[in-house]
């Protein structure tokens, strides 16, 4: 199996909040890591125009990815306007085709923001179809396959109605939390935006608190939670647990 992991999420900094610890573990295990976003984060500001903030945020994302030797990609949709339609599906499929991942990390199907939900659909659709020869004009890697697909925790671990989401897989990221925090800190432009728009001034600390909550369930300091997609014809064995769970 190809050791290529792709996280496809909505915005720059989503990966650092939700799954960077697991990406670090995968990198350390010899996997090739790709971090992709649907948008460049063009609405993540109260002061800059969309082009300036997009430039800032994609540079931040590139620097954060480089901290773990990962490659950053963006299909250049617009914040708040991510939609599962033919053009965006094709862009996502083409991205998957070029990378040919065997493991995909995506947003939860139900999350607080519709960009997240639509990006989740794009990741699910592309993961299913990218290996079909006729779906893209990009060359097909001979080891293309329906990958392992996992959904990251929704923000705060709840669905849009406030119901708790129970992970199928918990991964200990206690030793990775400092590097994960440094990656998130690389997205410096978001501190002022979140304080102004979300009333939130604890960018890194809120990420750590959720990691501690998941860690308690595993008996460790910090953990990341995932729900595995097991529909036909996706793999049913829990790859992340086999690789990283205690006794896995």
Taken in order of first residue, the domains within the chain and their CATH numbers are: 4-242 (3.40.50.10320)
Confidence band, pLDDT 50/70/90 cuts, at residue 222 = very high
Length of the chain equals 248
Find the mean pLDDT for residues 4-27.
Answer: 98
CA distance 89 to 121: 9
Provide the token pair at 177. 């939390």
pLDDT value of residue 245: 78
On the question of pLDDT at 44 being above 90, the answer is: no
Q: Are strands 169-172 and 32-37 parallel, antiparallel or unpaired?
A: unpaired
Which letter does DSSP use for residue 162 in this model? S
3-state secondary structure of 171: strand
- Region of poorest pLDDT, from 46-50, 107-111, 163-167, 180-184: 46-50
Its pTM stands at 0.95
* Tokens 């720059």 sit on residue: 12
How far is residue 131 from each of residues 90, 97, 119, 229, measured CA to CA in Å? 13, 7, 19, 18
pLDDT tens, position by position, 80-121: 999 999 999 999 999 999 999 999 999 999 999 999 999 999
SS (H, E, C) 172-205: ECHHHHHHHHHHHHCCCHHHHHHHHHCCCCCHHH
186-200: pLDDT as tens digits: 998 877 766 676 666
Q: Tokens 């991205």 correspond to what residue? A: 95
DSSP notation for 12-65: TTHHHHHTHHHHHHHHHTT-EEEEEESS--TT--SSS-HHHHHHHHHHHHHHHH
Whether the link from the prior residue into 233 is cis, omega within 30° of 0, is yes
């Amino acid at each position: 199996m190809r050791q290529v992991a792709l996280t496809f999420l909505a915005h720059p900094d989503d990966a650092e909040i939700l799954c960077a610890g697991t990406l670090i573990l995968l990198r350390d295990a010899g996997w090739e890591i790709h971090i992709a976003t649907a948008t460049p984060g063009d609405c993540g500001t109260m002061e800059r125009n969309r082009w300036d903030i997009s430039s800032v945020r994609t540079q931040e994302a590139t620097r954060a990815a480089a901290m773990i030797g990962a490659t950053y990609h963006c299909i250049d949709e617009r914040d708040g306007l991510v939609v599962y339609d033919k053009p965006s599906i094709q862009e996502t499929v083409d991205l998957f085709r070029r990378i040919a991942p065997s493991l995909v990390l995506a947003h939860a199907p139900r999350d607080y923001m519709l960009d997240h939900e639509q990006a989740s659909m794009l990741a699910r659709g592309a993961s299913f179809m990218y290996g079909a020869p006729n779906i893209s004009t990009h060359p097909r890697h001979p080891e293309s396959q329906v990958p392992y697909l996992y959904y990251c925790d929704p923000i705060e671990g709840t669905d849009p109605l406030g119901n708790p989401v129970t992970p199928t897989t918990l991964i200990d990221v206690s030793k990775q939390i400092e590097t994960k925090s440094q990656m998130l800190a690389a997205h410096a432009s978001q501190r002022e935006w979140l304080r102004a728009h979300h009333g939130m001034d604890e960018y890194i600390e809120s990420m750590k608190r959720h990691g501690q909550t998941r860690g308690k369930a595993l008996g460790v300091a910090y953990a990341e939670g995932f729900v595995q997609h097991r529909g036909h014809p996706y793999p049913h064995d829990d790859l992340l647990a086999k690789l990283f769970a205690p006794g896995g």
